[in-house]
C-alpha cells in the first residue's frame, strides 16, 4: 500500500487490521475503523472485465471500498484533482468521501468489491450528471 499516494477529496487508503493464525485470516471492521457509523453493506461481483460502474458522486454518503477478492481500479475526482487507485488486497480499504466522483473499472474475473456505507440507499444523495457535479463542486 502506497502510504504517500495523494488522493482527491480527502479520500485515503486504510490499512485494515488482520487477525489470524495457521487456520486463516480475519479482518474485523468496526465503526471506529470506518470513521463513521455503518448503515449499509453491499458488494459487487460477477462484473465483466470491460465493465465500468459508478459514474456518480454522493452529496453526503461516505464509503469504504474493499476488494475482498481479486482487483479493480477506482478513479476518483473531486472536481479539481483526479487519481486512479487499484485496490487488490482484502486488508486495504479505500475511503470514498462525499463530493468525489468515482468510476470503478478493470475488474478481475474473481473480483468481489465490498462497499461499506454511512447511510442507507437514498437516490436524492446521488449526483449522476458529471457537468452538474463539476458545477456543485466548484461552489463548495
Dihedral angle, C-alpha 67, 84, 125, 120, nearest 10 °: 10
Run means of pLDDT, 10 residues per run, the chain, 140 residues:
72 92 92 91 94 96 97 96 95 96 97 97 97 93
C-alpha cell read off for 106: 478493470
Distance from C-alpha of 105 to C-alpha of 44, rounded to nearest angstrom: 12
pLDDT of residue 115: 97
pLDDT confidence of residue 3: 52
Query: Which pLDDT belongs to residue 9?
Result: 85
Confidence (pTM): 0.91
Query: Whose grid coordinates read 459487487?
Result: 44
What pLDDT is stored for residue 86 in this prediction? Answer: 96
How far is Cα 116 from Cα 130, in angstroms, rounded to an integer? Answer: 23
For the chain, list the domains and their CATH numbers: 8-15+33-139 (2.60.120.10)
Active site residues: 56
pLDDT on residue 33: 84
pLDDT at site 113: 97
DSSP assignments along 22-75, one per residue? TTEEE----HHHHTS---EEEEEES--TT--EEEEEESS--EEEEEEES-EEEE
Strand arrangement of the beta sheet that strand 72-77 belongs to: 82-87, 72-77, 101-105, 53-58, 126-127
Amino acid at each position: 500500500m502506497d502510504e504517500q499516494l495523494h488522493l482527491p477529496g480527502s479520500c485515503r487508503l486504510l490499512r485494515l487490521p488482520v487477525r489470524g493464525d495457521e487456520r486463516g485470516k480475519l479482518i474485523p471492521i468496526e465503526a471506529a475503523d470506518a470513521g463513521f457509523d455503518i448503515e449499509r453493506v453491499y458488494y459487487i461481483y460477477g462484473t465483466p472485465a470491460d465493465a465500468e460502474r459508478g459514474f456518480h458522486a454522493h452529496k453526503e454518503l461516505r464509503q469504504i471500498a474493499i476488494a475482498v477478492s481479486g482487483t479493480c481500479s477506482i478513479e476518483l475526482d473531486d472536481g479539481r484533482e483526479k487519481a486512479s487507485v487499484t485496490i487488490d488486497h482484502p486488508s486495504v480499504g479505500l475511503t470514498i468521501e462525499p463530493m468525489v466522483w468515482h468510476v470503478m473499472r478493470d475488474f478481475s474475473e474473481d473480483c468481489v468489491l465490498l462497499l461499506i456505507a454511512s447511510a442507507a440507499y437514498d437516490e436524492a444523495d446521488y449526483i449522476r450528471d458529471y457537468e452538474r457535479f463539476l458545477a456543485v463542486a466548484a461552489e463548495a
